[in-house]
Structure 1
């Protein structure tokens, strides 16, 4: 409560800078602020009582934070073979990016209603050669796209475009809105735009809410239009908040990030990477993750809802819950090291509503020969080892013709440049949330009957069957030893939450699950440790 009170004045300031009450409505305005503050106090009280997971917001998101070269060099780390520059630290609320043919960088700043231009680093000092406002007076601009000679800007309520002169980095015509009247109320008002290899203009629009059935069919979707704004189509649905998307250079498939819902615990549901198909339905609000029925809108609902869940398309990859994947980009340049060519970089903005912060990094997604996706950390250090101090929150990623990678940060008001071919860190490549491969000794399995009975009680008490009717526990004996299965409960893969089991409880649950597999398989298992 003291922490909230300390930030109350900042909360009022943030609201006032947006609304700016006149003398006529000042009294009503301050009453509204007081009501909002009471609501926040009640929310914090609920958290303290354990009714909902803790709100763990980086307050710099509201108050503004700064970074500097010293902080960047001390805290941020990269995959081997890259060098990091603080390209600009004077770009508040830096969100989405686009690179011009001349190598300049465009940056959207929704809260300021403008798009700025960072001049390419031609003097080689590691920083933009300057910056200026390119266009302002916009309605919360977010996504940016350069197509032919046009600059497209996704505002919160539509799309506009203007001719853009790449040679001098200036708008060359009147700005005209070609898509209008899109809803921008509620939680997820940002729009992201991208030009597909098929010549269509794609636009994502998030939901109005945490979880609900939308009245506007355009919310929680990816739409597409012809480049002049005509021929509107809803391309895919059931996408709660797909802030970033890009097309694979290997097969042309469209992939999009998606942010999972809140208030189901620290570790559920997962955030997602989806392979987007035309007319595909991706589950929200009826299901989370791999068709797990939502407790509010899916569980126990009518047959029509159950059919929707069954027909939904599962994620291609699951991020940890509340990591908030935003921008994503496939690396295409031949200048990239072989290990990173054609991989997708994803900006994990970081959690705000789990007890221990998580995310706050850029990860690289690799597709193996079977099409399975593996993640590893590519840029990290935005979240300190204390899991509390935040130095930045990555938002979007772009790559220029020379293979330079740019990452925006709306928390620190910064843009970073990552150059290939120059060593910056001796840190090894770090798998993102993975465990070492299993190499179990050849010993017979020894089930402890008392432990298994205790594990059965835990399984029933935690109502594990609720999820595992939909996600069967299969082939545990081929993946884990008893000890490794017990250790798994410390870092479970979403959607399974981390229940904070004691060592005794973890061991008991492992023995119960292995015992069930023996009974179900009707065979004697080898290759396991007790």
Structure 2
């Protein structure tokens, strides 16, 4: 989900009006035929509201809410628009800035929980996703994947181009990257649009490739824009958070938590939620919605519409000196950057995803309070998330240029 120019918003609303008749905001009318041999009729109320941006002052940060025993503070600031994070075994923190095209190394040399050294270690246009695997740094921009050596001082060697032909970005250029328990590279490729039939089969997917970028295949498809993903520490199963379709009303489409399986299809752009038909676009040719639904893997869990899930990380650091209580082990944390396509804002927070027996059971607020002035303003939109070796949690805010650290201090 991204901010749109007013003319783009108007065009989107007109496109909806062109296929619309009358129904409720939160419920798409059942007058959606299986094929285009009959007319589709639906009315959808689209809304735009973006809270104003205010500064991340000490007073505002002090009123952020975390569970009892936890503390939140700035780890670093004045970072422009920091996005995704990676942390080395030694505790070096790396953060990308898609806007600046940089990778910045942050060090906390005195162990006080705040970065005291900052150094740009790579410059790559539109770099976004980042991970460390087998002692090397992997970075992904819109169409390119790079690998660089990690030097002893934390700096990077010259990035080597591994892949140069990922699909165009369109509306969702924010690629992410990680390596699974199988040693394979996983790449997210969002859709180019809100809802459309993609001409490139690699859009709206997760791709899998060898560590050198060769042997690329589509791992899972029908995913509008999955950015945050990670493997459950016990089961090894892959989980990802997908962005729902815009312009279906305040309460639709909800954000999805999916168990991502090889070869599975997750419905976009025709099926959403628990099997709902998206009125536009219709299936092509003689294909019916019912046929597409039959092959769709429905979400394992849903979250408030338009919250914009970004980062996802399972927590495994219990047992270290500053780690979270044991009950957090094998649960996940996710960043919700926040809505724009909704009357009342959703997101603007970090949530905890409870897992029981390897399956999600509920989502609870973990860090809240970035919305202020009766939800009319905000001072933080969480994006990247990672854990430090000491068990504390880091996440970025790409509006005020801050990285926050959450620690447990009972």
Shared fold (TM-score greater than 0.5)? yes
Tell me the TM-score normalized by structure 1. 0.67
Distance 2:231 2:98 in 1: 25
Residue 116 of structure 2 corresponds to residue 129 of structure 1? yes
Q: 1:352 aligns with which of 340, 359, 365?
A: 340
Gaps of 5+ in 1: 1-13, 16-35, 424-530
Quote how far apart the aligned CAs of 1:186 are: 1.3
Mapping of 1:189-208 within 5 angstroms?
189-208=173-192
More strand by share: 2
Q: Which residue of 2 aligns with 1:378?
A: 366
Tell me the TM-score normalized by structure 2. 0.86
Contact 2:52–2:377 under 8 Å retained in 1: no
Q: Which residue of 2 aligns with 1:315?
A: 299
Q: Which residue of 1 aligns with 2:87?
A: 99
Residue 382 of structure 2 corresponds to residue 411 of structure 1? no
Q: Which residue of 2 aligns with 1:260?
A: 244
Rate the CA distance shift 1:42–1:244 in 2: closer, same or farther, 3 A.
closer
Q: Which residue of 1 aligns with 2:60?
A: 71
Contact 1:95–1:395 under 8 Å retained in 2: yes
Quote how far apart the aligned CAs of 1:69 are: 2.8
Gaps of 5+ in 2: 17-24, 26-43
Q: Which residue of 1 aligns with 2:310?
A: 326
Q: Which residue of 1 aligns with 2:156?
A: 171
More helix by share: 1
Distance 2:145 2:375 in 1: 38
Where 1:234 maps in the other structure, the secondary structure is strand
Quote how far apart the aligned CAs of 1:40 are: 5.8
Moved segments of 4+, more than 6 Å: 41-47
Distance 1:229 1:368 in 2: 35
Quote how far apart the aligned CAs of 1:117 are: 1.0
Q: Deviations 1:192-245 (Å, cap 9, x if unpaired)?
A: 000101000000010000000101111100001111011111000000000110
Distance 1:42 1:257 in 2: 28
How many residue pairs match? The answer is 378
Rate the CA distance shift 1:121–1:292 in 2: closer, same or farther, 3 A.
farther
Quote how far apart the aligned CAs of 1:339 are: 2.0
Distance 2:67 2:155 in 1: 35
Distance 1:52 1:318 in 2: 21
Distance 1:42 1:182 in 2: 28
Rate the CA distance shift 1:127–1:68 in 2: closer, same or farther, 3 A.
farther
**Higher RCO (C-alpha under 8 Å, 6+ residues apart):** 2
Q: How large is the RMSD of aligned CA atoms in angstroms? A: 2.5
Contact 2:51–2:345 under 8 Å retained in 1: no
The structure having more radius of gyration, on CA atoms, is 1
